[in-house]
Amino acid sequence: MYNKYLLGTDIGTQGTKTVLVNPDGKIISSAFSEYDVIKPKPSWAEQWPDVWVKATFDTIRDTLEKSKVKPSDIAGIALSGLYGGSGIPVDKDMEPIRPCLIWMDRRATDEVQWVKKNVDKDKIFEITGNYVDSYYGFTKMMWIKNNEPDNWKKIS
């Protein structure tokens, strides 16, 4: 028998969903795991990466258990995830040192203004493929550097 199923997992802002489909695209089974966005102040939005990891493993396991499909019968896996964050700031042991600033975090307003005044917008686009906005990770990384120097020193 050939591998005939596809598994897809979307790591989203409010939860992670995994879906198992057959070659015709029919959903065989699915699972969802919800989690919260940490909002310590207005326009701030953070998440610890361990909630994404746990939700990903949990939804894949639950989807496969419900379907009774053997992992060896899965032909392919697709993952998608939220974008626009600061990445996962980790220490020398690859342990997260703070929650991630996710796409909807808009705290880096001073950093955006600094970049707009000091860096050519076409050069930013050439390097990043984006223009300047607090949505994108580089301004969030600048915010961590400017506002959390102790954490910035720990980042490897």
**pLDDT tens digits along 113-132:** 999 999 999 999 998 888 89
| Angle at alpha carbon of residue 125, lines to 143 and 144, rounded to 5° | 10
Final residue of a structural domain among 82, 99, 132:
82
Domain containing 60 — which CATH number? 3.30.420.40
What is the CA 31 to chain-centroid distance, rounded? 18
Amino acid at residue number 16: T
The candidate with the shortest Cα–Cα distance to 39, out of 13, 11, 10, 12, is 13
Question: In terms of domains, do 48 and 14 share one?
Answer: yes
Domain extent for 64: 1-82
Question: In terms of domains, do 72 and 110 share one?
Answer: no
Question: In terms of domains, do 76 and 15 share one?
Answer: yes
pLDDT 10s digits, 44-71: 999 999 999 999 999 999 999 999 999 9
Environment class of 71 (CB within 10 Å of its CB; exposed 0-12, middle 13-18, buried 19+): exposed
Number of domain units in the chain: 2
What is the CA 134 to chain-centroid distance, rounded? 16
Whether pTM exceeds 0.85 = yes
Question: In terms of domains, do 91 and 73 share one?
Answer: no
